[in-house]
Amino acid sequence: MLAGRYQRLGRIGQGGMGVVWRAYDAELEREVAIKELRVPEQVTEQERRVWYARMQREARAAARLRHPGIVTVYDLVMGEDGRPWIVMELIHGQSLEHLLSEQEALPERQIAAIGLAMLEALSAAHAHRIVHRDVKPANVLLEGDRIVLTDFGIAAVEGDATLTRPGTVLGTPAYMSPEQIAGRAVTPAADLWSLAATLYAAVEGRPPFTAPTHGALFIAIATQDPAPPECGGPLAQVLNGLLRKDPANRLSVAQIHDLLTTVTGSSSKPDAQARPAEQQPATRTDTLSYTVDLTLVQGPVPSPDDKGLSRLTRAVEDLPKQEAVAIYRRLAEADPDRHRPNLAQSLHNLGHTLYQLDRFAEVASARQEAVAIYRQLAEADPDRYRPNLAESLSHFSHTLYRLDRFAEELPVEQEAVAIYRQLAEADPDRYRPDLAQLLSNLGNTLKRLHHHAEAAPVEQEAIAIYRQLGRS
């Protein structure tokens, strides 16, 4: 057990400076991620100290940042062999790299939404005079409603003594800026280049420059222009405007923001007209308030036959989230058996978008309606839809937590726990981690409501599952 409190449960992945593990914090009774530094055996003792110092600098750099789009650092501890370990929040999701390996290219609106979230996270880091220097799909994590930037392992922190020799090149070659590969001064503009290279990969399914060797790749980045992206309009303007050799000629943050916002069709700033967080439970009528205008102006939507259904689904996925909800709502009224699952998913997507805008009262409305639909679906086909219901309940409870509506959060979490317990009995390897996390959340909610006697056995059950996971 690391530092007397962190028990490793399983390996999550490997980064540029080591291995990341899922772990259990026995003192605070929660899951965390811990990053283990692995230094090549052939390095000298002096080089080993540089590696240790660099990891400690990563912890300092990330710990200075408080932003929902940046992974939170909890602690820095030393192992028995003197190696530093970083303790961070555990992100329950996949990387953008993994998503692209499955889908190759993403819809433009999704790419723009990811770009806006990354831009906000990088702007927060740059405001603290921290340059990430290794922005790439592998370092962008997707967790439900969050898009999180991680791995500040080679971040340049103004005011820190340099830990690299002159001319040393750090970063992932395919996503590095021309100034990085040339060993010149690295500024926030380098992160913006890497942001564009990451978004380019999401558009094209590959980075803007590829070559068989690092040397050839460096030459291409320094001397060639990338192939024009397949996308057009504002998203292409962002990519072309940032993948410029001279940092001084790249787009500003404000220009990037405006162009990406044009693609997503909404402002990243909270809506001044957003409804306040009401203390009464949200209803379907609340959700209708931001979609009914769309149903009035478009006329009836005929229910497609099976041949046209996939084409309609693809077309609706490219629409703004509110419009997709409006269309699927009308389709579900005409043919509920066929279109209620699509309506539930579109409500989930809308909730995700509203969450990024901090419009939590409206998120609650969308998610509560999604829960109601998945509950009906699960009653008719439990094997297929119980996992969706459990996940939807989990998202809804988290939204209620953000609104400080703890009394309403409690029964939602209790229902989610009951379903995850059933799922874990049937498929323990897949669902026990989710059950443990929900039990931990439920215990915290009970304590916030001063139900300490009820919280104790819930937390004990969570701890027992975490221990089983640690032994498996």
Q: Which candidate in 25, 75, 81, 134 is catalytic? A: 134
The C-alpha atoms of residue 33 and residue 95 are separated, in whole angstroms, by 15
Query: If DSSP codes are grouped into helix, strand and coil, which group holds residue 368?
Result: helix
The yes-or-no answer on residue 434 being catalytic is no
Token couple for 442:
């439920």
Torsion angles phi and psi, residue 399, rounded to 5: -65, -45
CA distance 365 to 289: 10
**321 annotated ligand-binding residue:** no
Listing DSSP states for 305-367 in one string gives -HHHHHHHHHHHHTS-HHHHHHHHHHHHHH-HHHHHHHHHHHHHHHHHHHHHTT-HHHHHHHH
Structure tokens at 222: 């320094």
- Count CB neighbours of 412 within 10 A: 26
Q: Please name the residue that has the structure tokens 């923001």.
A: 257
Quickly count: other Cβ atoms within 10 Å of residue 188's Cβ.
Answer: 19
Contact 189, 250 (CB under 8 A): yes
* H-run or E-run covering 254: helix 253-264
Q: How far is CA 81 from CA 3, 78, 190, 209, in A?
A: 12, 8, 36, 41
Could you tell me the two tokens for 146?
């969050």
Structure tokens at 3: 């530092």
Whole-number Å distance between alpha carbons of 45 and 94: 36
List C-alpha distances in Å: 79 to 37, 45, 51, 84, 171.
10, 17, 15, 6, 26
Tracing tokens 């990243």 back to the chain, one arrives at: 268
Q: Letter for the amino acid at 447?
A: K
Report the C-alpha gap between 169 and 157 in whole angstroms.
16
Question: 439 vs 92, 123, 135, 218, 399, CA distance in Å?
Answer: 15, 35, 35, 50, 17
Instruction: Quote the CA–CA distance of 15 and 25 in Å, as a whole number.
Output: 22
Strands 84-88 and 130-131 come out as: unpaired
Residue 212: phi and psi, rounded to 5, are -70, -25
**Amino acid letter at 438?**
L
Beta pairing, strands 18-25 & 30-37: antiparallel
Residue entry with tokens 């967080």: 277
Known binding-site residue numbers for ATP: 35
What is the set of active-site residues?
Answer: 134
